[in-house]
Amino acid sequence: MDKIKVAVNGAAGKMGRHVISAIAGCRDLELTGAVDLVEVGVDAGKLAGREPLGVTVTANLAELLQQGETDVLVDFTTPMAIMKNIELALSQRVTPVVGTTGISEKDLDRIQSWVSRYKTGAIIAPNFALGAILMMKLAQVCARFFPQVEIIELHHNGKIDAPSGTAIKTAQLIAAARREQPPRPESLEKIPGTRGGNLEGIQIHSVRLPGLIAHQQVIFGGEGQTLTIKQDSLSRLSFMPGVLEAIRRAPTVKELVYGMENLLEL
């Protein structure tokens, strides 16, 4: 069986290094490219703490993809660059597997248009951790019985966008599953923003602190009781099984898949 050829964009970042290491440990995957604006010329294996892989970091994503040696592009970069990266990958008939967050509903519409134009699929995942995926699905089920809910998401202080893509996706799933729209309680904010952001009547609170990785609580409230679903990613290794699963499925994906729960058919 031919190996799936994978390039990693954001190779020098913390997630990129973990992805490179995970790919290097798989017999059915081959790292064919590593892209970043820093560590250019460094062997990707060295970045990942492994033996040299014979793939050096380049700063030119377009040039790499035009070589035609890539089946899947894994992207963990920034919200400011992600849309350009996705369009570039799709235009070269390379399937993007995207963990970069900050993608809006309008952005998803644009990605869908590119998927249709280039007849190439795309996988966009707010979170690759299996626990987080199950958390979102459980929240969707609970929303049928507990319509009043708030979300607290906590991430490391290097995360730029807020709220997280996971929190947004969770709120969207909850809103779609509600049987009724609960009344919104009156609120007098003595400090603006104290109650957090609001998405379809769901309050979302974002915390950014050193020492954190990725954490979320979904707190439902009902008559005389609360129900809390909590997920913690204590290491970036928690994302790797999901990333590898997405890479392996990517070559057969012919549409836009938003959320790993859809890829895993939960």
Phi, psi of 165 (to 5 degrees): -60, -35
C-beta of residue 251 within 8 angstroms of C-beta of residue 72: yes
C-beta of residue 171 within 8 angstroms of C-beta of residue 139: no
C-beta of residue 114 within 8 angstroms of C-beta of residue 90: yes
| CA 251/CA 255 separation, integer angstroms | 11
Report the greatest alpha carbon distance in the chain. 63
| CA 60/CA 92 separation, integer angstroms | 14
DSSP for 28-75, written as a single string: TEEEEEEE-SSSTTSBHHHHTTSS--S-BEES-HHHHHHTT--SEEEE
Secondary structure of 83-95 as H, E, C letters: HHHHHHHHHCCCE
Residue keyed to tokens 């990725």: 214
**DSSP, res 178:** -
> Would you call 159 a catalytic residue per the annotation?
yes
Strand order in the sheet with 202-208: 197-199, 202-208, 148-155, 214-222, 225-233
| CA 80/CA 233 separation, integer angstroms | 25
Catalytic pick among 18, 137, 155, 215: 155
Give me the active site residues, please.
155, 159
